[in-house]
Amino acid sequence: MEGPRRTEKAELPLTALRDGESGIVTSVEEGRGGGHGRGRGGWGFKKRLMDMGLTPGTRVTVVKSAPFRGPLEVSVRGSRLALGRGMAERVFVEITK
């Protein structure tokens, strides 16, 4: 029933989830930019995602996504976050029912 993208790999970026689907965070990738910009690049934003509650093992639900590849509204640790695509792509999850 499910598309091939779901069976090939257990880990998916948050952006691959459909509205209403949940997953458990497995890892958060650092930014492509690495560490430049005095820690403001990759490291800073990974840390930011963690600080907002997206730590490994956390359950996260994609509530909806804005049209035209817009940001995602996710629910994590009882709070509601808006995550731009660039951010959401770095968060990898394992799908749960």
Partner 1 sequence: MTEKKLTIALAGNANVGKSVIFNQLTGLHQHIGNWPGKTVEKAEGTLHFKGYTIDIIDLPGIYSLSTFSIEELVSREYIAVERPDLVINIVDASVLERNLFFTLQLMELETPMVMALNQIDMAEKKGIRIDHKKLQKILGIPVVPTVAIKGTGVYELLEKSVEIIEKGGINPPVIKYGEEVKEKIREITKLIEKIQFRYPARWAAIKLLEGDEQVEKEIREIGPKTLPTAEKLAKEIEGIHGHSCSTIITSERYEAAGKIAREVQQIVPKIRPPVSETLHTITTHKILGYPIMILAVLTIFQSIFTFGNYASELLSNLLYGWEPLFEGLLGTGVVKELVWGGVAEGIIAGVTVALPYIAPFYFILYLLEDSGYLSRIAFLMDTLMHKIGLHGKAFIPMMLGYGCNVPACLGCRIMETERERLLAAFVTTLIPCAARTVIILGLVGAFVGIQWALALYVIDLLIIFLLGRLAFKALPGEPTALIMEMSDYRFPHLKTVGKQTWFRLEEFIKISFPLIVVGSLVIKLMEILNLLEPIANILSPVTVTWLGLPATTGITLIFGVLRKELTLIMLATLLGTTDFARILTPLQMIVFTLVAMLYIPCVATIAALVKEFGWKKALFITVFEIIFAIFVGGITLRLLILTKV
State the residues that interact with partner 1 by CB under 8 A. 27-28, 31-33, 36-53, 55-58, 64, 66-71, 73, 77-88
* Closer by beta carbon to partner 1, 6 or else 10: 10
Structure tokens at 83: 């995550």
28 has which bridge partners? 91
Q: What residues contact 29, with CB distance under 8 A and at least 6 apart?
A: 46, 90, 91, 92
- Residue 15 Cβ, how far from partner 1 at the closest point, in Å? 11
* Closer by beta carbon to partner 1, 6 or else 34: 34
C-alpha to C-alpha distance for 85 and 88, rounded to whole angstroms? 5
- Residue 78 Cβ, how far from partner 1 at the closest point, in Å? 5
